[in-house]
Amino acid sequence: MQAEVRRHVEELEHVSSELRESLATITAEAGRRTEAERRLEQQLTHDGVTGLPNRLGITRRIDVCLRRDVDAVRGADARATGVAFVVLEDLRRVREALGHDTADDAARLVTSRLKAMAAQPEVAAVCTSAELGRAGEDEFVIVLASLDGADAGLRLADRFLEQLAQPIQVRGRQLALRPCLGLAAGRLQYERGSELLRDASTAADAARTKGGPSRVVFEPRMHLVARSRLELESNLRRAVEERQFHHLYQVVRALDGRLLGIAGGLRWENPQADAPEPRTFLPVVEACGLAPRFGTLALEQLLLDTATWSAPRGKTATFELELPAGPREIGDEGYARALVEAGETLAGHGFALAVRVEEAQLARSGFACEERLAALRASGVRVNLELATDVVSLALVQRMRPDGLRLPRELVARLHDDADTLAMVESLVACAHRLGVRVTAAGVDGARALELARQLGVDAVLGLHDGPPSSAAMVRARISGAPADGARA
């Protein structure tokens, strides 16, 4: 009897041991599954470089804040959730120019700066928390929970913008990332975090069009602007594929009327509607990634137009053909190679190829674009710098030593009534000449403007005797066989 009892006890102990082992195995497996699910959730909702919540993760956090806002309204609390959407204009260019590792280091430094700012007492004084996220390669998000009014949101947005506008040191280089910030806030008008994030992003897009570090507050009308821009971008993509562009040219002359060169620029021939002016569509070309293809199209059209041209007598390889180009075009290796090849081809026909870059764009794009321009010059392509209408940077001219400077039409027009700017430009022209840089004034289409050009001491003008930009055929008639040193063609 006792032996039978002992046998049953042993069997029960054996079964119990097996159950404990099975339970331990199940528990361990459950732990592994839980950890795998946690890692998967982390990967799905967080940025792998900075560790911040990604677009999905930060949208969920905004959802939580909006639910709190609804409860707060029921309790007569006037606080609301604010979202600041930050675009670092030049972070993508850092990646293109210096590689992924440098760009990732820059993103981590930006994250550290944002975290330090979010921890400041001035932030805690006007909102319960400032949660950070990374919505894209060059996009960061700041969620201001229970924000104490719109004015408080504006103050915080400006402080974050101020901090992000300061240069950072990455791998021995000083980088300025040029932040643009869009701010949106609300309580009951937003049901989902994705809606609030969308409006903050729309405001950031509006800030980008202003250039430089800038901040814009969302307004409902911005949706119409965004839709119009989307339609413009779609039409531009089709226009580039269908080559709906042609060059118009202006003759560049010395003050005594001698021919010095030709400046070209693409115009859009939209068969469906009136095409916008270049100042309207070119920023969209630059922003939406079409710039390299657009630049190549402009170069191909120039080569077609000039195939039957002859440089004025005596101007072998010095008669200049100039095209505008933006930072994204210049930063594209394929476009840069095409420029050099085109320059070699044109030199064989007595022309010198030049690219014209706007000062404001160059200042925003930073060192990478300057380095590429220096390489182009070393390969025989001339580089001309067009000054901004409100910024004249002598330091940039001294650093770059471009082949030429252009004073834009708008700046020249201002000089008639702005003595301070006139004195500054006169000094700049004198300094440019000491550096061996040729200066051209645009918009010189009358006696008053010509007298101003003489006062400034510029070397060449656009508009003198020739009127508005004209077709390739008309320019060919003006320059073919014209003497380089004659009084006027």
Residue 143 falls within a domain, yes or no? yes
Q: Which residues does residue 321 pair with via DSSP β-bridges, in sequence order?
A: 262, 353
Residue 316 falls within a domain, yes or no? yes
Q: Of 46, 44, 63, which Cα lies nearest the Cα of 194?
A: 63
Residue 44 falls within a domain, yes or no? no
Q: Would you say how long the chain is, in residues?
A: 489
Strands 460-462 and 438-441: parallel
Q: Of 199, 216, 200, which Cα lies nearest the Cα of 208?
A: 216
Shared domain for 297 and 422, answered yes or no, is: yes
Single residue among 176, 192, 220 that ends a domain in this structure: 220
Q: Are 321 and 302 in contact (CB under 8 A)?
A: yes
The amino acid present at 5, given as its one-letter code, is V
Residue 41 falls within a domain, yes or no? no
* Cα–Cα distance, 192 to 60 (Å, whole number): 9
Shared domain for 171 and 294, answered yes or no, is: no
Count CB neighbours of 468 within 10 A.
8
* Cα–Cα distance, 444 to 406 (Å, whole number): 12
Residue with tokens 């509607």: 273
Shared domain for 274 and 188, answered yes or no, is: no
Shared domain for 269 and 351, answered yes or no, is: yes
Residue 15 falls within a domain, yes or no? no
* Cα–Cα distance, 138 to 161 (Å, whole number): 14
* Cα–Cα distance, 263 to 278 (Å, whole number): 15
* Cα–Cα distance, 457 to 435 (Å, whole number): 15
Return the CA Rg of the chain: 31
Shared domain for 147 and 285, answered yes or no, is: no
Tokens of 94: 């850092």
Shared domain for 348 and 430, answered yes or no, is: yes
Which CATH number is 172's domain given? 3.30.70.270
Shared domain for 206 and 248, answered yes or no, is: no
Q: Considering all CA atoms of the chain, what is the largest pairwise distance in Å, rounded to the nearest integer? A: 134
Total domains in the fold of the chain? 2
Shared domain for 264 and 200, answered yes or no, is: no
Which CATH number is 343's domain given? 3.20.20.450
Helix orientation angle between 150-164 and 100-118, rounded to the nearest 10 degrees: 140
* Cα–Cα distance, 212 to 88 (Å, whole number): 10
Shared domain for 159 and 239, answered yes or no, is: no
Residues 6+ apart with CB under 8 A from 208: 87, 89, 180, 214, 287
Single residue among 168, 196, 220 that ends a domain in this structure: 220
Collapsing DSSP to helix, strand or coil, 260 comes out as strand
Q: Measure the CA angle with vertex 14, ends 8 and 16; round to 5°.
A: 100
Q: Are 73 and 138 in contact (CB under 8 A)?
A: no
> pTM of this prediction?
0.67
Shared domain for 146 and 269, answered yes or no, is: no
Domain of residue 203: give its range.
55-220
The pLDDT profile of the chain, 489 residues, written as one tens digit per residue, is 677 777 777 777 777 777 888 788 888 777 777 777 777 777 788 999 999 999 999 999 999 988 887 665 544 455 788 999 999 978 877 887 788 899 999 999 999 999 999 999 999 888 888 999 999 989 999 999 988 887 888 899 999 999 998 888 888 888 888 899 999 987 667 888 999 999 999 999 888 877 668 899 998 888 888 888 888 889 999 999 999 999 999 889 898 888 889 999 999 987 776 778 888 888 888 878 888 999 999 999 999 998 888 766 555 457 899 999 988 888 888 999 999 999 999 988 889 999 999 887 776 666 668 888 999 999 999 999 998 765 556 777 888 889 999 998 888 888 888 888 888 888 889 989 999 999 999 988 888 888 999 999 999 998 866 778 888 888 888 776 554 443 334
Shared domain for 444 and 398, answered yes or no, is: yes
Sign, CA torsion 28/29/34/39: positive
Residue 86 falls within a domain, yes or no? yes
Single residue among 220, 254, 288 that ends a domain in this structure: 220
Q: Are 14 and 8 in contact (CB under 8 A)?
A: no
Residue 318 falls within a domain, yes or no? yes
Q: Are 58 and 139 in contact (CB under 8 A)?
A: no
Residue 487 falls within a domain, yes or no? no
Helix (H) or strand (E) segment spanning residue 352? strand 351-358
Shared domain for 338 and 399, answered yes or no, is: yes
| Distance (Å) of CA 448 to CA 139, 255, 424, 451, 452 | 48, 13, 19, 5, 6
